[in-house]
Structure 1
Amino acid sequence: MRCSSLPALVLGLAALAAAVYRDEVDDVDFHYALVGLPLPDTTFFHRPRRDDKASLLYTLSDVGVLAAVNPTNGDVVWRHRLVENKKEDDDSTAGFFLRAPEGDDWLVTAHGSGLVQAWSALTGRNVWRAQFSGRIKDLEVLDLTAESSRDVLALFDEDGETVLRRLHGSRGSVVWEFRESSKNVPLQVSNDISNVYLISLSGSGSSLSLKVTSLDTATGARGEHWIVGAKGDVSAAGDVMFVGANSAAPVAAWVDRTKAKLSVNVIGTKAKHEFPLPPDVVSVRVHAPHLAQSQPHFLVHTQTGEEDGARTNKAYVFHTDLKTGHVTLAHELASFRGEGSYSTSCEGANVYFAQVSAEETLVFSSESHGVLARLPHKAGVDVGPVRAVTEVVRKAGSGEFAVRSAIVTGQDDWTLLRNGDRDWTRHEGMSDVVGAVWAEIPEREDLARVLAEEAHTNPLSAYIHRVKRHVDDLKHLLPGYLAGLPQRVLKNVAGGGAAEDKKQQGLWRDGFGFNKILVVATRRGRLYGLDSGNHGHVVWTRDTLALGGERPLVVRGLVADDEAGTVAMYASNGFYTELDASTGDVVEVSGGDSKKPVARTATVLGKLLPIGPDGMPTRELPANWDAEQTVVTVTEDPSPMLQGVKFGGRGKQVMWQFRLRPGLKLATVTTAPADEKVASIGRVLGDRRVLYKYLNANGVLVAASDEAARTLSVQVLDGVSGQVLSAQVHRGVDASLPVSCAMAENWYACAFFGDYALDDKTGRAIKGHQLVVTDLYESSEPDSRASPPLLDPRRPSGRDPTAAEMEAEGLPRYGPSLDLDDARRGPLSLTVSHERLVLAGGGFVVAPAAVESTCLMAAFGVDVYVSRLAPSGEFDVLGRGFGKIALVGTVVALLGGVLALGPMVRRKQINLRWEANL
């Protein structure tokens, strides 16, 4: 198992952050442990123990995460990420397979790379794995009557050659292998009690037909083969639907080009059965049981479009005669309008169909159209079902049913309905984040308007107006504040104030700057607004696909305008949207244009400027555009290059160019934060001299790697003139792994993996993650350093620091590695108080808080994790462990002592004066 992590630079800087203590877990941080949107063919209820009646909810999601979820509360029991490092424009879920043999305690998975793995259903432990060449096309469990015969059938396409392997269910070894060299496209493998069937597409272009080849179950020897239907019945591989792979009568179904009829073939037979479809059909889905002992019944769900945009759902139930293989329409279910889904549940030979609509859940038997159970949804439950999986259990001794449906909603949420009541909801649409930005919570509109009016009047009138406004505020707010003051004091002393603040409804700005809005954009094209002050509560969500966006969404720029209270985003196809940060309402939207793609964006004065592949803006320049400002652009075609460009009304003027030599690959480009505040311009050394920092707000750091030479070249450029300010070359670098760099004030740091040559004159080298920090100064004369002590380049090497260095600079002795737990470092050592498995390889964003040296950090990817960081320590904020009661008790005791001892001291002083006179 290998989990994603934050970039190596964050891990290197982890020692500088204040620990999240055990009593602060879920208080100063929050974590959305997500799994992704469940796919219909790889999501099901399954019992992890053979003799246990309780079941877990298993899924292999669209982001390649295998997970087991507790259906009682929605918590993740275990999860593994099987697919990583997807391309930014890759939204394909083809080649994801998850199967579970009924009555067994293991699962088997496979994905497009040809890797087949078995897992323990209870613990998630990997049982075995088998790697094969080619692309996986299908995966099924060979479910025979003998318990020992539950092996795995894996179908591959190896460079045009069809390969079917039977793998041992307990060890993963190959039992037998079947190969066929033909131009056929492998689609599916299925089996019944007697044979294994290989289904493929025969033909070329759009004139395709279904070919079935039977194989011997024990040896894999070829039997007979036949063509189902006529040539041209199938136009594409995606048109064929396979259901009930392990049932007594597995079915293949497809719809003709005009969507006028449905063709059905019971796999193992040569007959094709055709059934008419209602007019204006927009989608057809087939649902069937998956158990061999279940009745051979299946359901066809059709949706037809209406003029008002709503859809009408209709279901048809078909029965299959096992002796003749004949398929007949048994009955129809009543139609309904709106969003809805059907799902199948099996209990022995009984087959149940569950219909989930926006208002209610109905349970039908496959034998009849009569309703077995009608479960109206409770008030306030609005699911908008898109697809669902259902578990139906008949209660012993009664005719009642217990029904649980795990539903994917139209808002990309995953929710579970139990007997019509919502048990939990997981915001799985928030997974696979590709961009994020922090936004301030806007001030009240009336206050902002009043402040704007005061700013545009003369100082005397503004002062008088402000005094009147404050007096009015006191009249309205002071009585309520004084009335609640005793209660607030008691709550603060008892330590309940923080918990009470979280109960405050809506968005509100706090004095510490911890309450902000985190806006995240997912690859599916949906944006979310999270309230960091309310434990990441989802304030709003917006689907950009309905606004003209693209899917998958490739974010080229995402920026927040705190003054206007908006968030703006550019996509790669030129789609632009500007939303209200607090509500998600659309402020401005512009559809994409395939003729004007956006290669990158530049942030100029808080606004996004889209740049096309040719280096020119794809839209008109803003009205207040300054033609003298230089914009740094990055191009990688035909070769990596940075340019400093001035854009004017007539075109662009290239001021400078920086080209990488042949063989170098651009690893990363970074700049210092635009709103960076420099604490000091210099640093005092041990001898009281000062080194002055080289501060340049236009600095651009460029890191380029050479895989052949195993080097990393790091250069700092001036963004206005293009001058190279600093250059370094690191050797022994593994260029195939990510490189992370950061830049701030007068220092920059790069983290990479490679060889490190030891300084013991032995010529030895060790492999590991390296963190290199460089300072820039105006002069080489002694003056200043801005790095934290552990990363300070001035750490003495080969000796202990002197007393002067320890007192004035706090320099520790240089060490080639960063120890996570070193007693010599005292308070700088790390203590693991708890751990989280965070799948967040997408990136991270940081925003400063109002408290000094404290910021909010959000890591994103599959998960979303937010926490506070305080590199210098939270010395100006009282933690939750602060003993307020002890402090108040001490003050009261001291006050009582003073009041009690005061008269005694005065009496003694008076007696001493009388004695002196005598």
Structure 2
Amino acid sequence: MRQLIVVLTSAGKVFGLHSGDGRELWSVYLGTGASGSAALRTVLVWREQVGEADDTELLALGSSGDSTRALWIRASDGEVIAEATLPLAASRALPLEGAAFEGAGGERPVLLASPSGELHLLAVAGGATKDAAAHAEAKEVLAARASKVFFYEADAKAGTVRGFGLVPHADAPAGVRRAQVWQLSLPESEALEAVVERVLDPVHTQVRVLGDRSALYKYLGANTAAVFATATEPERASEGAPPSAVVAGLVVYILDTATGRVLYRTVHMGSAGPVQATFRENWVVYHYWSNEAMRNEMSVLELFDDTRDRPSHVQEGLMQLLGAEVTAPEQSSHSLPPLRVLGQSYYMPMSAKAMGATSTAKGVTARQVLLGTGTDQVLALDRRLLDPRRPLKATPASKEERLPPYAEMLPVDPRRMITHRHTVANLRFIESAPTHLESTCLVLAVGLDRYLTRLAPSRSYDTISESFNYLLLSATVVGMVVATLVAARMSARAELKRKWR
């Protein structure tokens, strides 16, 4: 259960904290390059621990002015392994995921992008000069797989979201250059509130079996994001002017960030930001303010693959039992399947400052939505309460799925406050991390204070409780062994007597 908590402060200092009691294990000063509201400040995993002799390594990045400072840190003791100053002011760090990009020692390259379009590849600890051959090899791999890398930039002032791809370019420092692929320009009546990417957590199964034995297939597109904007109705030029066609409210776009295609759009009339949201698996949950009803509300959108010509989940199960290999259909942003989107809205009697969701190692355990409330506490909401398929009246099928009947208001149970009687002053964000136990995850709430707790959304089904009677179990096992030996001896004697007759 013990894990290292790594935090980077706005002042540019990296801390390693003990998850048991919160004490400081080590600290490293990244420098003034990590200060400034528009600068890049992040800590990424550079290399994960594989064997006992290895150690996890971190990459801390901080940019300011016209440069970016990079520190490679050993996670166990905070020792700085290498450092480099890069000749660009990076605004975004893109970890290149996948075995194809990893170095010989398990390093995870990072592509840095600046607002002006400059790119820089970090593939070797300490920079390209430390190992020119490894850096050149990483450039070749990136150029060969440039068509697989996409990223976007959101400009709240301009009301645009621009998507970029990579194009091989031999003369570029990173071996590639960026090329704009698409642009989403919001109408003048809409103000960009937030862009929330889908978190790539482990998903146990793509199939959701319903109570009537039918199935829905989750849409798990990796390049998916939710864009939130507030639409305001313009004032009439004169009293006799016709009303505007603009509907005031909160506009939600589900966007494919590889192609720029709008997968779904909906409007919550009479609503506005600020918006707090989380996007997990195939569902997005968001909290906002309804001007029309003068209350806080929460909504959920759930995306399903509506492809018809595919084998049923029963056929797939039988094929697996017979030993046949069943592969999940490949999903590509350039050939998107038809989507079925389900949605529902609820009244939430509490304001929100942050939002997150639980995450476990295999994705088997039921999820909970973590809501940072206006009172600086964290509320855990059962994901089933935010299911868009909640029926108006309970049916046998909904009872089998354990779906509660629809109610307009989400229940706020004080026992679900995972911070209990404590508050996290100026709560800003909530993070969760899996543990080696599938039933349990760690939740960290950060503000002026830090609060860490363990959470078991489906209870601790893979652990033995502290009140378990080990003495009774031991006595039972010993008694069974003794009874088995005595019965075997008595049986042998009876058999011997029978043969002497």
TM-score relative to the length of structure 2: 0.64
- Decide whether the 8 Å contact of 2:283 with 2:301 is kept in 1: yes
Indicate the residue corresponding to 1:538 in structure 2: 24
Amino acid at match of 2:252: V
Q: Does 1:645 align with 2:164?
A: yes
Q: Distance in 1 between matches of 2:282 and 2:8?
A: 32
Question: Which of residues 614, 629, 633 is equivalent to 2:148?
Answer: 629
CA deviation string 1:239-272 (max 9, x = no partner): xxxxxxxxxxxxxxxxxxxxxxxxxxxxxxxxxx
Question: Which of residues 742, 750, 759 is equivalent to 2:278?
Answer: 742
Indicate the residue corresponding to 1:570 in structure 2: 61
Q: Does 1:584 align with 2:78?
A: yes
Gaps of 5+ in 2: 50-55, 98-107, 124-137, 234-246, 314-339, 343-365, 368-382
Q: Distance in 2 between matches of 1:531 and 1:516?
A: 7
Q: Distance in 1 between matches of 2:417 and 2:80?
A: 45
Question: Which of residues 662, 666, 673 is equivalent to 2:192?
Answer: 666
Q: 1:893 to 1:732 in 2, by over 3 A?
A: same
Question: Which of residues 250, 262, 265 is equivalent to 1:724?
Answer: 262
By how many angstroms is 1:527 displaced?
A: 0.9
- Decide whether the 8 Å contact of 1:549 with 1:591 is kept in 2: no
Indicate the residue corresponding to 2:95 in structure 1: 603
Secondary structure, counterpart of 1:790 in structure 2:
helix
By how many angstroms is 1:724 displaced?
A: 1.3
Secondary structure, counterpart of 1:661 in structure 2:
coil
- Decide whether the 8 Å contact of 2:69 with 2:83 is kept in 1: yes
Indicate the residue corresponding to 2:290 in structure 1: 754
By how many angstroms is 1:883 displaced?
A: 1.8
Secondary structure, counterpart of 2:397 in structure 1:
helix
Secondary structure, counterpart of 2:147 in structure 1:
coil
Question: Which of residues 463, 467, 479 is equivalent to 1:883?
Answer: 467
CA deviation string 1:285-311 (max 9, x = no partner): xxxxxxxxxxxxxxxxxxxxxxxxxxx
Secondary structure, counterpart of 2:430 in structure 1:
strand
Amino acid at match of 1:847: A
Q: Distance in 1 between matches of 2:416 and 2:206?
A: 30
Q: 1:661 to 1:558 in 2, by over 3 A?
A: farther
Question: Which of residues 349, 365, 389 is equivalent to 1:794?
Answer: 389
Q: 1:682 to 1:697 in 2, by over 3 A?
A: same
Indicate the residue corresponding to 1:690 in structure 2: 215
Q: Distance in 1 between matches of 2:389 and 2:110?
A: 40
Secondary structure, counterpart of 1:806 in structure 2:
helix
1:181-192 equivalent positions in 2, closer than 5 A: none
Q: 1:745 to 1:637 in 2, by over 3 A?
A: closer
Secondary structure, counterpart of 1:628 in structure 2:
helix
Q: Distance in 2 between matches of 1:560 and 1:620?
A: 13
1:283-298 equivalent positions in 2, closer than 5 A: none
Q: Does 1:561 align with 2:46?
A: yes
Indicate the residue corresponding to 2:456 in structure 1: 870
Q: 1:570 to 1:640 in 2, by over 3 A?
A: farther
Amino acid at match of 1:843: F
Q: 1:904 to 1:582 in 2, by over 3 A?
A: closer
Q: 1:877 to 1:560 in 2, by over 3 A?
A: same
Q: Distance in 2 between matches of 1:551 and 1:795?
A: 46
CA deviation string 1:155-208 (max 9, x = no partner): xxxxxxxxxxxxxxxxxxxxxxxxxxxxxxxxxxxxxxxxxxxxxxxxxxxxxx
Indicate the residue corresponding to 2:115 in structure 1: 613
Q: 1:588 to 1:729 in 2, by over 3 A?
A: farther
Amino acid at match of 2:295: K
- Decide whether the 8 Å contact of 2:156 with 2:193 is kept in 1: no
1:378-457 equivalent positions in 2, closer than 5 A: none
By how many angstroms is 1:544 displaced?
A: 2.0
Q: 1:719 to 1:903 in 2, by over 3 A?
A: same
Secondary structure, counterpart of 1:776 in structure 2:
strand
Q: Distance in 1 between matches of 2:426 and 2:113?
A: 28
- Decide whether the 8 Å contact of 1:711 with 1:732 is kept in 2: yes
By how many angstroms is 1:776 displaced?
A: 0.8
Q: Does 1:529 align with 2:65?
A: no
Q: Distance in 1 between matches of 2:35 and 2:217?
A: 50
By how many angstroms is 1:614 displaced?
A: 2.7
Q: Distance in 1 between matches of 2:33 and 2:294?
A: 48
Indicate the residue corresponding to 1:848 in structure 2: 434
Indicate the residue corresponding to 2:375 in structure 1: none
Q: 1:841 to 1:572 in 2, by over 3 A?
A: farther
Amino acid at match of 1:531: H
By how many angstroms is 1:690 displaced?
A: 0.9
Q: Distance in 2 between matches of 1:603 and 1:840?
A: 30
Q: Distance in 2 between matches of 1:619 and 1:894?
A: 60
Q: Does 1:811 align with 2:403?
A: yes
CA deviation string 1:658-678 (max 9, x = no partner): 12221323222222234x222
Q: 1:864 to 1:710 in 2, by over 3 A?
A: farther
- Decide whether the 8 Å contact of 1:556 with 1:601 is kept in 2: no
Q: Distance in 2 between matches of 1:588 and 1:904?
A: 69
CA deviation string 1:564-609 (max 9, x = no partner): 722223334142222222222223333476xx43333333325443
Q: 1:855 to 1:576 in 2, by over 3 A?
A: farther
By how many angstroms is 1:895 displaced?
A: 5.0
1:283-362 equivalent positions in 2, closer than 5 A: none
Q: Distance in 1 between matches of 2:89 and 2:226?
A: 26
- Decide whether the 8 Å contact of 1:840 with 1:864 is kept in 2: no
Gaps of 5+ in 1: 1-513, 757-764, 823-828
Indicate the residue corresponding to 2:350 in structure 1: none
Q: Distance in 1 between matches of 2:76 and 2:60?
A: 15
Alignment: residue pair count: 369
Q: 1:608 to 1:641 in 2, by over 3 A?
A: farther
Question: Which of residues 275, 285, 295 is equivalent to 1:767?
Answer: 295
Secondary structure, counterpart of 2:220 in structure 1:
coil
Q: Distance in 2 between matches of 1:831 and 1:742?
A: 19
1:160-175 equivalent positions in 2, closer than 5 A: none
Q: Distance in 2 between matches of 1:724 and 1:855?
A: 34
CA deviation string 1:457-493 (max 9, x = no partner): xxxxxxxxxxxxxxxxxxxxxxxxxxxxxxxxxxxxx
Amino acid at match of 1:634: E
Q: 1:700 to 1:830 in 2, by over 3 A?
A: closer
Q: Distance in 1 between matches of 2:84 and 2:114?
A: 16
Q: Distance in 1 between matches of 2:412 and 2:150?
A: 41
By how many angstroms is 1:855 displaced?
A: 2.3
By how many angstroms is 1:655 displaced?
A: 1.6
Q: Distance in 1 between matches of 2:477 and 2:147?
A: 67
Q: Distance in 1 between matches of 2:480 and 2:198?
A: 56
Q: Distance in 2 between matches of 1:734 and 1:580?
A: 44
Q: Distance in 2 between matches of 1:893 and 1:586?
A: 55
Secondary structure, counterpart of 1:549 in structure 2:
helix
Q: Distance in 2 between matches of 1:520 and 1:602?
A: 19
CA deviation string 1:774-795 (max 9, x = no partner): 1111128899999832211111
Q: Distance in 2 between matches of 1:795 and 1:873?
A: 23
Indicate the residue corresponding to 1:892 in structure 2: 475
Q: Distance in 2 between matches of 1:741 and 1:590?
A: 36
Secondary structure, counterpart of 2:462 in structure 1:
coil
CA deviation string 1:62-98 (max 9, x = no partner): xxxxxxxxxxxxxxxxxxxxxxxxxxxxxxxxxxxxx
Secondary structure, counterpart of 1:789 in structure 2:
helix
Q: Distance in 2 between matches of 1:566 and 1:620?
A: 14
